[in-house]
Chains A and B, each alone.
Chain A
Amino acid sequence: MLSFSVTFKSGIPIYEQIVFGIKKAIISGQLKPGDSMPSVREISKELRISPITIQKAVSQLVRDNLLETRVGIGTVVSEFGIASQEKKMGLLGDDIGRMIVEARSLGITKKEFIEAIEKQWQS
């Protein structure tokens, strides 16, 4: 069993979906700072995805300072994981930005947008 989950959707690059799945696990506290990550090979086998794709996702998360590579231990969730609320929001920032652009282009009002979020939040 992996310590994070990915619900795959067609049409979005797989490594992006894995990055998202791991980010979500870190934000939600499912993965905690210092937790060691399964190896690229283990993730690959479990999700049945090329290790090249997994490596790409892990490298991206290391670049984003969410994971770090420790000599002799492997990849762990970095201390940044417990980061301030502000930093957590920063993580979401890009996604929210994209959603707002989308909402505006659909002519959705701010009120409707927030209502939609609240509805999703409950579920």
Chain B
Amino acid sequence: MAYAIATSNLTKSFGRNNVVQSLNLAVPYNGIYGFLGPNGAGKTTTIKMIMNILKPTSGAVTVMGKPSVELGPEQLAQIGYVSENQDMPDWMTVKYFLNYCRTMYPQWDQKFCQELLTQFDLPLHQRLRDLSRGMKMKAALISSLAYRPKLLILDEPFSGLDSLVREELISGFLEITRDQDWTILVSSHDLDEVERLADWIGIIDRAELKIQEETASLIQRFKRVEVALGSPSAATVKTPESWLRFQEDQMRVTFVESCYQPGETEKKVRELFPQESSIQVFPQTLKEIFVALARQYKISNL
């Protein structure tokens, strides 16, 4: 399978500190990839290496088939990049800023730019420095969408924004999906936001990738199971490794099944706890899945 972004054993150290450690990210074409992790996990550093802003200590990145260290103007014109801490020429007005960006991209689509301006309801004649955080993100997003990039990389686009502005931003960046080839990588520390949006999830913590999977499959395989026992269980039971956060008291057993298959998990429960009187299975949100994994792998909490 070819990937829009692929990293192999990507590592970045500052002094003795490994900020990104042997990362193997695989972002498929045509989909939304949610790159998740707590603040300081290494998300921004990874993205900067993808964008050829930072040089890896070791390992490599390929972006749309090309090594990131060779990314030139031709490739960068295919990539839209919006970062939470982006430097913007604050003294420019929105209109001046967009006209300024326009000159850098031959394929700039002015009609599309106008549509986005209307959709976002941005004040054309205000200076960037006078805009709210949300408005500024919108201006940055327009400047990265109007040339119709094939790959859009968003570094923490939602942080510090209220839900209405988040929704507007999402509608905005989904606009790139009208073209045939599109890929979105969005980093966030907000799991709820991304659960609905992302087709793929990658979770990074303390420099390492802990999970990389299709969102639907991740949500399908994690379930919280509660078992009521008719009588206390006699001996200590050896439970499968896929049962996380296993807890047992006199009349009740709870755990998070990380490989749930309808019927199979229940069968295993009856085998290990023949005295069960009821089994209940509950869905798990991405946040709950993350907490279960955090306990298991000692990941820091979000």
Contact = CB atoms under 8 A, between A and B. Distances in A.
Given A10-B286, A11-B285, A106-B278, A50 B171 contact: no
B28 to A, nearest CB: 10
Interface residues of A, number: 23
Contacts of B167: 48
Given A13-B219, A13-B220, A48 B280 contact: no
Interface string B207-243: 0000000011001100000000000000000000000
B278 A45 contact: no
A109 to B, nearest CB: 14
B174 A10 contact: no
Contacts of B170: 48
Contacts of B278: 105-107
Contacts of A13: 215-216, 219-220
Nearest to A102: B280
Interface in B177-229: 177-178, 192, 195-199, 215-216, 219-220
B277 interface: yes
A107 B277 contact: yes
A88 B174 CA distance: 35
B171 A45 contact: yes
Contacts of A41: 177-178
B131 interface: no
Interface string A36-71: 000001001100111111001000000000000000
Nearest to B281: A102
A51 B177 contact: yes
B283 A12 contact: yes
Contacts of B287: 10
Nearest to B169: A48
- Chain B at the A interface: mostly helix, strand, loop or mixed? helix
A9 B286 CA distance: 12
A25 interface: no
B267 to A, nearest CB: 13
Nearest to B173: A48
Given A48-B170, A50-B31, A52-B30, A14 B284 contact: no
B283 A45 contact: no
Among A10, A13, A56, max chain B CB count under 10 A is at A10
A65 B279 CA distance: 34
Contacts of B196: 8, 14, 48-49
Interface in B258-302: 277-280, 282-288
A15 interface: yes
B288 A11 contact: yes
B32 A10 contact: no
Contacts of B285: 10-11
A44 B178 CA distance: 11
B30 A10 contact: no
Contacts of A44: 174, 177
Contacts of B171: 45, 48
Contacts of B32: 50, 52
Contacts of B280: 102, 105-106
Contacts of B31: 50, 52
A8 B286 CA distance: 14
Nearest to B31: A52
A14 B216 contact: yes
B197 A48 contact: yes
Nearest to B278: A105
Among A45, A48, A50, max chain B CB count under 10 A is at A50
19 contacts: A10-B287, A11-B219, A11-B282, A11-B285, A12-B283, A13-B215, A13-B220, A14-B216, A15-B216, A45-B174, A48-B167, A48-B171, A48-B197, A50-B32, A50-B198, A50-B199, A51-B177, A53-B199, A105-B278
Given A11-B219, A11-B285, A50-B198, 10 more contacts: A9-B283, A11-B283, A13-B215, A13-B220, A16-B216, A48-B196, A48-B197, A50-B32, A53-B216, A102-B280
